[in-house]
Amino acid sequence: MPLFFDRGKFRRVSDIVRSPIDPEEVSAKKISLFRKKGRVGALTDLVATKPKNKPSAPPKQKKLARSIIVAVIAFLVIGGGFIYYSLYNFRKNVVQSLESELNRFNTQVFDLRPFESSPNKETFKTGADLNPKNPIQVLGTEIWPLLKDSVGAYKDFQELASQALILLEKSETLITNLPDLLFHQGGGEIISKLKEISGILNNVSNKNAKLAGVASRLKDFSPGNFDFYLPLQTDLGKYQNFLNSTINWLNSSSSRHIFVMLLNPSEIRPGGGFLGSYADISLRGANLESIDVHDINELDRSITSKTVPPKPIQAITTNWKTADANWFFDFPSSAGKILQFAEGSDLYNKNGIAFDGTLAMSSRVIEDLLSIVGPIEIKEDNITITSDNFLFEIQKQVQAGQKTKAPNPKKILQDLTPLVVEKLASLDSAQKQKLFNLVGNWFSNKDLMVYFRDPELQKFFSGLDLSGQVYELPQGFIGDYLAVVNANLGGGKTDIFIDQKITLVSQINDDGIVANHLVIERTHRGNESKDWWYKTTNQNYLQIFTPPNPQLENFSGGVKKTIKPPTDYKKGNYITDPLVSQIESTRKDFLNYPAVESFEEFGKSVLATWTKTEIGKKSKIVFDYTHRLPVPLAEGKTYQFIFERQAGLSGVYKFEISAPISFVWEENNLPIFEYQSSDPPGRLIINLTLKKASQ
């Protein structure tokens, strides 16, 4: 059946047929339709045009419906926009707060160094509470992944900072109480606290790793720096390895021995002062077993091996032994050689004693300790040792003992040591804090240097520049390097009365050539002393460490000293040291400057000469030399000047670095950068940025 004749439509057609037609409703057009198509055809057309549904709503109802629809749409648009804006601002606030607090946190964390002043603990406390507070924020955090990551990252950071604060507080507590624990058989507690710190450090590392996962996604949507976790994770790994190695080293059932070098700056050597005395410190289970102080001659008399000394040392001795082994400017190299000699001696070899490491200590350390604990009276000798007279009084007692050929001329050090230890064991909180702060200065100035044979321990100390190692120049180094290294060989104890002034004037040319004018002035003030051992002529082997391949342009002031081997070393079956042989194999002379020799050592070129300074007089040594940068210095590039100070040495240091013509240094907006100090750090690094001078 055709669709027209469905039941509903059929009924409507019937209704129309049955119902009378109102003449007023029939238009002329419809009448015409009836005439043309007949009743049935006309009715069919009318049914097709008749509304199928109920009659349409009045105009007012239509208008109301449209208004409701518009209102709903407007509400959705405005409300949705408000919700989005609210969530966007919430996320923005979270990310900005996270970035700000991370920067503050990182600045403190990455500047932390052992034995330095503690940072402000507020740094490790997070700021406002940014957890979702209203239903919109809660819902948005659940359904918007980016917001969820942002809030999650902030929560992870809060946990990280909280753990870091606990770590800091635990570490401070241990360090503060370390003297008490060390000197009162608290080794077990030391190890226990180290393990606790290790556990907290592991928690910090885990929190940082978790935060890293979220931060790596955030940096794709935010301009801030969220790569903080990379160096932090590296540092955490280093500290964790160090702690594990330290715990294993301390938690030993056998004795651990540390060779403590007591260096005398009155007789300077490349690795610090002359090694005239030392202490053997024995630990077991982190408990202090003993501190035995020895004259170095006691050790050297028990050495039966024969070793060829470095060429300059042959001027004062035939056989190389421990007393003269502090020869290398690179302290780990000196320390390794000292331990080798010590362990090969009958004094330790017969007893099977091996040393785990060395600790070099200058006289300044003892003087600072005396300034904390106060004067110490040695009643047996009727002597009072203070921070002001320590070095002079000890030297006087040693010289007196040697003059009378006493069996132990350095007995005064053996008497003094337990008295100092006793005072250190009873420090109050203020004294402990002062001691803690001084340790950082000692390491920075190379008054303390440490070397361990354990690779992880040494790697840690070396990474923090606590080992006195020579700086390794990077490949393609754009800059300059300088170290002025003295060795008193046959000059008595005169270095304590030598005033040294070092002046370097450096000109960088536009072709990449660096021209240096180095002046070293040494004044002998021994005439101010009444003791003869300070009045002898200072004889010094002077070494200038420079970048590789310098060209010596001019020289004056040095002394040529010919050293002949004191014996036939080959015939006498003397051992040749590999490092010394390697260095001396690079030795070269200068035809125009016979008082100067050069060689390669620790990745540097060395210009060396002898100096002689008589009492009450001054000597002046001048080196003019050049070296070429890998590429000429360009605008915006950084030029780095590195100076490493010799341990145990003081003086006046002045450096002038001139930029190429028409350029200035961004740091001071001048063509010349000047630095002057009487107490620079052990390693001074100056970074200078080149820029075009304003017209």
For the segment 255-277, what is each residue's pLDDT rounded down to a tens digit? 999 999 999 999 999 999 999 99
Give the pLDDT confidence score for residue 171 in this predicted structure: 81
* Percent of the chain whose predicted confidence (pLDDT) is above 70: 73
**Residue 422 burial (CB count, 10 A):** 12
Cα(175)–Cα(169) distance, integer angstroms: 10
Q: Is the pLDDT of residue 14 over 90?
A: no
Cα(410)–Cα(549) distance, integer angstroms: 45
In the 8-state DSSP scheme, what is residue 53? Answer: S
| Helices 145-183 and 411-424: angle between axes, nearest 10 degrees | 130
Question: Which amino acid is present at 528?
Answer: E
Cα(35)–Cα(46) distance, integer angstroms: 14
Q: Is the pLDDT of residue 124 over 60?
A: no
Give the pLDDT confidence score for residue 57 in this predicted structure: 55
Question: Which amino acid is present at 411?
Answer: K
Q: Tell the residue number behind the tokens 């449209």, with chain if given.
A: 66
Q: Is the pLDDT of residue 225 over 50?
A: no
How many Å is the Cα radius of gyration of the chain? 42
Q: Across residues 42-63, what is the average pLDDT?
A: 55
Sketch the domain layout of the chain as residue ranges: 3-49, 64-250, 256-463, 479-560+595-692
Q: Is 129 helix (H, G, I), strand (E, B) or coil?
A: coil
Q: Is 81 helix (H, G, I), strand (E, B) or coil?
A: helix
Q: Across residues 676-686, what is the average pLDDT?
A: 95
Q: Is the pLDDT of residue 8 over 90?
A: no
Q: Is the pLDDT of residue 111 over 60?
A: no
Backbone phi, psi, residue 414, to 5°: -70, -35
Q: What CATH number is given for 479-560+595-692 in this structure?
A: 2.60.40.3680
More confident residue, 404 or 80: 404
431-473 pLDDT per residue, tens: 988 998 898 899 999 999 999 999 999 999 998 899 999 999 9
183-192 pLDDT per residue, tens: 888 999 999 9
Of 34-48, 55-69, 80-94, the range with the highest mean pLDDT is: 55-69
135-147 pLDDT per residue, tens: 544 444 444 444 4
Give the pLDDT confidence score for residue 153 in this predicted structure: 58
Strand pairing report for 652-658 and 683-692: unpaired
Cα(585)–Cα(599) distance, integer angstroms: 8
Give the pLDDT confidence score for residue 82 in this predicted structure: 40
584-608 pLDDT per residue, tens: 999 999 999 999 999 999 999 999 9
Cα(488)–Cα(209) distance, integer angstroms: 53
Q: Is the pLDDT of residue 118 over 60?
A: no
Q: Is the pLDDT of residue 2 over 70?
A: no
Tell me which H or E stretch contains 650: none
Nearest Cα residue to 358 out of 340, 380, 371: 340
Of the pLDDT bands very low, low, confident and very high (cuts 50, 70, 90), residue 49 is low
Q: Across residues 416-442, what is the average pLDDT?
A: 91
Q: Across residues 354-368, what is the average pLDDT?
A: 96
Q: Is the pLDDT of residue 21 over 80?
A: no
| Helices 59-111 and 145-183: angle between axes, nearest 10 degrees | 20
Q: Is the pLDDT of residue 159 over 80?
A: no
In the 8-state DSSP scheme, what is residue 27? Answer: -
Of the pLDDT bands very low, low, confident and very high (cuts 50, 70, 90), residue 165 is confident
Taking the CA atoms of 318, 319, 322 and 324 in sequence, report the sign of the dihedral they define. Answer: positive
Give the pLDDT confidence score for residue 267 in this predicted structure: 97
Give the pLDDT confidence score for residue 397 in this predicted structure: 92
Give the pLDDT confidence score for residue 80 in this predicted structure: 41
Give the pLDDT confidence score for residue 54 in this predicted structure: 52
Six token digits for residue 184: 């009162």
Six token digits for residue 62: 């239509």
Cα(340)–Cα(322) distance, integer angstroms: 9
User: Could you tell me which residues come within 8 angstroms of residue 237 by beta carbon, excluding any fewer than 6 positions away?
Assistant: 205
Alpha-carbon separation of residue 605 from 155, 482, 489, 513, 540 (angstroms)? 53, 10, 22, 17, 19
Q: Is the pLDDT of residue 226 over 90?
A: no
Q: Can you name the residues that pair with 294 across neighbouring β-strands? A: 278
What would the 3-class secondary structure string for 372-440 be? HHCCEEECCCCEEECCCCHHHHHHHHHHHHHHCCCCCCCHHHHHHHHHHHHHHCCCCHHHHHHHHHHHH
Give the pLDDT confidence score for residue 498 in this predicted structure: 97
